[in-house]
Amino acid sequence: MFTETSKCPSCGNATFRAVLQQPDNSNYQLQFVQCAECDAVIGVLEYLNLGATLHDQTQIIKEHGSKLDRLEVALRQTNHLLGKLLSSRGAHVS
Ligand SMILES: [Zn+2]
């Protein structure tokens, strides 16, 4: 019968823990999923959730893009009004 409980392939234990380590020759820390009984490594996870980080940064970039769009519109309006003001005074805006 199929069971959904994960078991350590080394000792058969069914409890695990995440241990943060920086392997030799690595620039990043990683989370090792280890058997809570015998410390056998079952898997390795990224310390930072890159998917969530990418999503957050994409949102920030979109917000900055919207702000830039609004600034561009305001700058064009300002430039237009400044040009009208200066032309009414006989000056010239390039
Ligand atoms: Zn084990």
Cα-to-centroid distance, 17 and ligand 1 (Å): 11
> Which candidate, 63, 30, 65, places its Cα nearest to that of 48?
30
pLDDT in tens, the chain (94 residues): 566 899 999 999 999 999 999 999 988 899 999 999 999 999 999 887 788 889 999 999 999 999 999 999 999 999 999 999 999 988 655 5
Distance between Cα 14 and ligand 1 center (Å): 8
What is the 3-class SS of the chain, one letter each residue?
Answer: CCCCCCCCCCCCCCCEEEEEECCCCCCCCEEEEEECCCCCEEEEEECCCHHHHHHHHHHHHHHHHHHHHHHHHHHHHHHHHHHHHHHHCCCCCC
What spacing in Å lies between the alpha carbon of 26 and ligand 1's midpoint? 25
Instruction: Please tell me the distance between residue 52's alpha carbon and the centre of ligand 1 in angstroms.
Output: 30
- Cα of 16 vs centre of ligand 1, distance in Å, is 8
